[in-house]
Amino acid sequence: MSIEIKTATLEPIRHTFEHTKRRFGDKPASRYQEASYDIAPEQNFHYRPLWQPEKELFDQSRTAVRMEDWNVHKDPRQYYYGTYVQARAKLQEVTESNYAFFEKRGLADRMNDEVKAKIIRCLVPLRHAELGANMNNMFAFSYGTATVLNQGFLYQSMDRLGIAQYLSRIGLLLGGNSTENLVAAKEFWMSDPAWQGIRRYIENALCLKDWFEVFIAQDVVLDTLLYDLMYRQFDEAITEQGGSDLAMLTEFMQEWHKDSSRWVDATLKTTVGESEHNRETIAGWITDWQEKAVADLAPLAEIAVGDGAINASVDVLNKRLAKAGL
Amino acid sequence: MSNRKINMKEKYRLLTRDLEWEYSYRDYKEIFPMEEFEGIKITDWSKWEDPFRLTMDAYWKYQAEKEKKLYAILDAFAQNNGQQNVTDARYVNAIKLFLTGISPGEHQAAMGFGHVGRQLGGVGARVACQMQAIDELRHVQTQIHAMSHYNKFFDGFQDFSHMHDRVWYLSVPKSFFDDARTAGPFEYMVAIGFSFEYVLTNLLFVPFMSGAAYNGDMATVTFGFSAQSDEARHMTLGLEIIKFLLEQHPDNVPIVQRWINKWFWRGTRMLALVAMMMDYMLPNKVMSWKEAWEVYFEEAGGALFKDLARYGIEMPAYAKTAIAEKEHISHQAWSIFYNYGHAAAFHTWMPTEEEMDWLSEKYPDTFDKYYRPRFEKWREMEAAGERFYNPTLPMLCQTCQIPMGFTDMEDPTSTFYRQSEYDGERYNFCSDGCKDIFDYEPEKYVQSWLPVHQIYQGNCGGAEMEEVLGEYYKINLGVDNMDFHGSPDEQRWNAWHNLSSAEDKLKQAS
Ligand SMILES: [Fe+2]
Ligand SMILES: [Fe+2]
Ligand SMILES: [Zn+2]
């Protein structure tokens, strides 16, 4: 049975804003559409940047990739600020109770020293790599053209800061909140040969000028390999060695990566599908960065998981690229 | 093993500041190439005091709670047709000005804080800026959503983004943010982080939100309350950047002082739009512009600059001029818009008799003497069916881009006017403040995309005003523009309210 409350109905004079009407037709638009599409300035800029006088603000030539219309991108998650923070709040709530449980039950004490040492050497130093990912995504955000795509980079950037913070907390939790694990992990990051390739890779990516190449180097190539290696293969290896409780602490990263991959895949596919020029440009970047990433990650893969681990991650990356038409 | 307790400050340091490392494969300057060209000297980023200590998990949690509440109210507002409950349909024009003029500025702020959130060399400063970047994205998006329902029942909201890139008066806020965004990272921080967010926010954001509260605009005021804690964070960041720059090196002091002078004046000019909104566009007045200026600039700003004196920072240059202008600026700005009401995407009108009396009371030294006679004449013309519109195109100030109409504070009947010559060309200014800004960086300000010049050069759709206003600006002529009296907005509003009063009669009869 349904009940019906009578309300005074007023006929609206229009269904949505003109920018959404032009793009999606004369019908009510979603909140995602109204707040994401065509809201960035496009022309009549007043001054050239003092920090880059050869270009305008929102200049499309800040990447070699070309789009007839940057606003054809779409986030399959339909994140605008409100839906984004609510999705992350849900994920962090689960994470918070995992971390609280881990601490309350003293699960760190159940891990043997060897497992702990391995986590500190192989996983915790990633907190620095995540800061690099935060900076790289912020770079792409600040130089992109269309808000519907740009906002994805902003969310991605903040996510990476969050992950860096969770990784730091893992370091603290495994050492009874003393800072020594973080100090040790930083030492590995700075001078352990297993980490130097990755650190060099990130420092190089931080010097790139093309924001779409940054996306390729960071979010597509490195992250696909690294997340498969650390949050799937390493997680399995640690479980076998009696460290299965670690999974409680890395659930956020695993879930986040699934979520973020939907956006990364869609972004890649739309851009590659635009033109042969884009496909070639992107394929060129991928070849360069993949070669470096595989070589740079191999020593870590070796100590974290073992022989052949990096090849398994490369398979995952190749599948992903094939899906995007590369 | 029982866990050691770590305090908040230490934890935040470990979770944020300690993530940074010393680069060794690449040079620091390759990663942060913009840190030196403005002449600012940073000797030690570790001296940065975190203005707030919010980790991402807490950020997501708090912000999600705020968003949930906000959208629940926006949904209820739409469902109950809350737009009918505003004081008067004239009020809605204030938020048309907000959506077309201010919300795109929130978007620019998001981009700008993202830019410095990548380019500043200190991780503490970067992270604080990044949080402001995502907050500012929140603001533009929630403002669009708050006004989405008004857009369905009133004219003038519908093409805010397109208009912001083109319409003459919107080039005032647009050029303001373009100016900040094209400056170096430290000037951006002084411009937007400090001058705008800290010094002027109570004169910009707060008047619009209080105006909403006083005029029954549930959607906008709910946004305002929801953004309050974001703004509190932004203010602490603005203050920290100033203190940090001043403490880093004495050579920074004169640079920062020059930026404060510039951005105070640029901000003051943009506030002319807020001044007229407060005094003329709100059917239910919050306070006069002059009162707001006295409380928020003269008192609060005065205390702030007293505090900054220990660093060698003085009151912004031209603060005196700005103080003198508080008696005039709202009346002059509203006169300009009334004159060009056919070229605006919102409605203008002459104040009612009671409203004129309120203005006389609030501006005893100036309103009756300089403005009432002119306004009464315009009202008579309107009554005679000859509503006054100025058919000529105004000359614009090269810096602030407002039509040259502000008067000399020594002689409030004559228009103030300055000129500079650069590279064989003459440029016009509304004030000494605007001229100074130009003279210091002429190569920058000769680039201004001045709407009137652009019309003359044929870059705005054609030579006919209909082509410019209708096709290029996309103003629905005869609908979005002209006087409020006789507008479709007014007709719809009257129809709604007659409808409900007819219903009331029916109820009473039964
Ligand atoms: Fe804001
Ligand atoms: Fe703000
Ligand atoms: Zn000016």
Mean pLDDT in residue range B295-313: 95
Mean pLDDT of A283-291: 98
Q: Do B115 and A142 touch (CB under 8 A)?
A: yes
Residues with Cβ within 8 Å of residue B164, at least 6 apart in sequence: A41, B100, B101, B104, B170, B173, B174
Share of chain B above pLDDT 70, in %: 97
Q: For residue B236, what are its two tokens?
A: 């602490």
pLDDT at A145 over 80: yes
If one counts every other C-beta atom within 10 angstroms of the C-beta of residue A34, the result is: 23
Give the tens place of pLDDT for each residue, B154-175.
999 999 999 999 999 999 999 9
Instruction: Quickly state the pLDDT bin for B510 (edges 50, 70, 90).
Output: low
> Each residue of A6-58: pLDDT tens digit?
666 789 999 999 999 999 999 999 999 999 999 999 999 999 999 999 999 99
State in Å: Cα B117 to ligand 2 middle. 15
- Whether residue A22 is contained in a domain is answered as no
Tell me: pLDDT of B431 over 90. Answer: yes
Minimal Cβ distance to A189: which of B21, B145, B151: B21
The CA-based angle B272-B274-B278, given to 5 degrees, is 120
From CA A151, how far away is CA A240, in angstroms rounded?
A: 40
B76 touches chain A (CB under 8 A): no
pLDDT at B236: 96
Rounded to the nearest whole angstrom, what is the distance from the C-alpha of residue B269 to the centroid of ligand 3? Answer: 7
Dist CA B184 CA B191 (whole Å): 10
> Looking at the predicted structure, is the pLDDT value of residue A192 above 80?
yes
- Domain with A259 in it: what CATH number? 1.10.620.20
> What's the CA gap between B418 and A307, in Å, rounded?
76
Cα–Cα distances (Å) from B418 to B269, B321, B397, B398, in that order, read: 16, 15, 9, 10
**What is the mean pLDDT of the segment spanning B62-90?**
97
Ligand 3: centre distance to CA B434 (Å): 5
Does the distance separating the beta carbons of B19 and A131 come in below 8 Å? Answer: yes
Across B35-56, average pLDDT? 97
Distance, in Å, from the CA atom of B414 to the CA atom of B430, rounded to the nearest integer, reads: 12
**How many CB atoms lie under 10 A from the CB of residue B236?**
17
Average pLDDT over residues B473-487: 97
Tokens standing for A236?
């399995």
Torsion of CA B382, B386, B391, B395, to 10 degrees: -30
Please say if the pLDDT value at position B497 is more than 50.
yes
Distance CA B243, CA A15 (A): 48
Structure tokens at A233: 């293969």
Long-range pairs, A273-278, Cβ under 8 A, ≥24: A273/A325, A274/A65, A274/A66, A274/A67, A274/A68, A275/A66, A277/A66, A278/A65, A278/A66, A278/A67
- What does the pLDDT look like over A61-118, one tens digit per residue? 999 999 999 999 999 999 999 999 999 999 999 999 999 999 999 999 999 999 999 9
Phi, psi of A221 (to 5 degrees): -75, -60
Q: Could you tell me if residue A34 is inside a domain?
A: no
* pLDDT value at residue B245: 98
Domain that holds residue A96: 78-323
The reply to whether A184 falls in a domain is yes
Amino acid at site A37:
Y
Contacts of A141 in chain B (CB under 8 A): 111, 114, 118, 133
Rounded to an integer, what distance in angstroms lies between the CA atom of residue B351 and that of residue A232?
A: 69
Q: Give the contacts of B15 (CB within 8 A, at least 6 positions apart).
A: A164, A165, A168, A169, B55
Query: CB B64 to CB A44 under 8 A?
Result: no
Say yes or no for a CB contact (<8 Å) between A138 and B56: no
- Is residue A87 situated within a structural domain? yes
Interval between CA B405 and ligand 3 midpoint (Å):
10
Chain B nearest C-alpha distance from A132 (Å) = 9
Q: What is the mean pLDDT of chain B?
A: 95
Question: Cα separation of A59 and A87, whole Å?
Answer: 32
State the pTM of this model. 0.97
B 121-160: CB under 8 A from A: 123, 126-127, 130-131, 133-134, 137-138, 140-142, 144-145, 148, 151-155, 157-160
Cα gap B103→A189, rounded to integer Å:
43
pLDDT value at residue B493: 95
The ipTM is: 0.97
**Does residue A26 lie within any of the structural domains?**
no
Interface test with B, best of A15, A81, A92 (most B CBs within 10 A): A81
How confident is residue B502, by pLDDT bands cut at 50, 70 and 90?
very low
| Segment holding B52, helix H or strand E | none
Cβ neighbours for B335, distance < 8 A, ≥ 6 positions apart: B371, B374, B405
Per CB-CB distance under 8 Å, the chain B contacts of A128 are 19, 21
* Rg of the Cα atoms in chain A: 22
Q: How many domains does the structure of chain A reveal?
A: 1
Q: Taking the domain B8-20+27-493, which CATH number applies? A: 1.10.620.20
CA dist., res. A252 & res. A107, Å (int) = 18
Query: Domain coordinates of chain B in residue numbers?
Result: 8-20+27-493
Q: State the Cα–Cα distance between residues A224 and B262, nearest whole angstrom.
A: 47
**Interface membership of B65 toward A (CB under 8 Å):** yes
**Between chain A and chain B, how many beta carbons pairs sit less than 8 Å apart?**
253
Task: State mean pLDDT over B483-497.
Answer: 94
* CB-closest option in B21, B148, B183 to A50: B183
Residues B292-295: contacts with CB within 8 Å, 24+ apart? B292/B202, B292/B203, B292/B207, B293/B203, B293/B323, B293/B326, B294/B326
Provide the residue type at B53 as one letter: R
Tell me if B447 and A31 make a contact (CB, 8 A cut-off): no
Q: Which residue of A has its CA nearest to B127?
A: A161
Q: How far is the CA of B264 from the centre of ligand 1 (A)?
A: 18
| SS3 sequence of chain A | CCCCCCCCCCCCCCCCCHHHHHHHCCCCCCHHHHHHCCCCCCCCCCCCCCCCCCCCCCCHHHCCCCCCCHHHCCCCCCCCHHHHHHHHHHHHHHHHHHHHHHHHCCHHHHCCHHHHHHHHHHCCCHHHHHHHHHHHHHHHHHHCCCHHHHHHHHHHHHHHHHHHHHHHHHHHHCCCCCCHHHHHHHHHHHHCHHHHHHHHHHHHHCCCCCHHHHHHHHHHHHHHHHHHHHHHHHHHHHHHCCCCCHHHHHHHHHHHHHHHHHHHHHHHHHHHHHCHHHHHHHHHHHHHHHHHHHHHHHHHHHHHCCCCHHHHHHHHHHHHHHHCCC
Q: Are A81 and B141 in contact (CB under 8 A)?
A: yes
**Rounded-to-integer distance, Cα A166 and Cα B14, Å:** 11
Percent of residues, chain A, with pLDDT higher than 70: 99
d(CA A127, CA A121): 12
A319–chain B nearest CA distance, Å? 31
Interface subset of B 391-430, CB within 8 angstroms of A: none
Q: What is d(CA B445, CA B448) in angstroms, rounded to the nearest whole number?
A: 5
Backbone angles phi, psi at B421, to 5 degrees: -115, 135
Residue whose C-alpha is closest to residue A127's, from A81, A83, A171, A73? A171
Residue A3 in this model has a pLDDT that exceeds 90: no
pLDDT for B498 equals 79
Contacts of A169 in chain B (CB under 8 A): 15
For B55-69, what is the mean pLDDT?
Answer: 98
> Residue A25 contacts by C-beta under 8 Å, 6 or more apart in sequence?
none
CA–centroid distance, B192 to ligand 2, in Å, is 9
Dihedral (CA of A164, A169, A174, A175) sign? positive
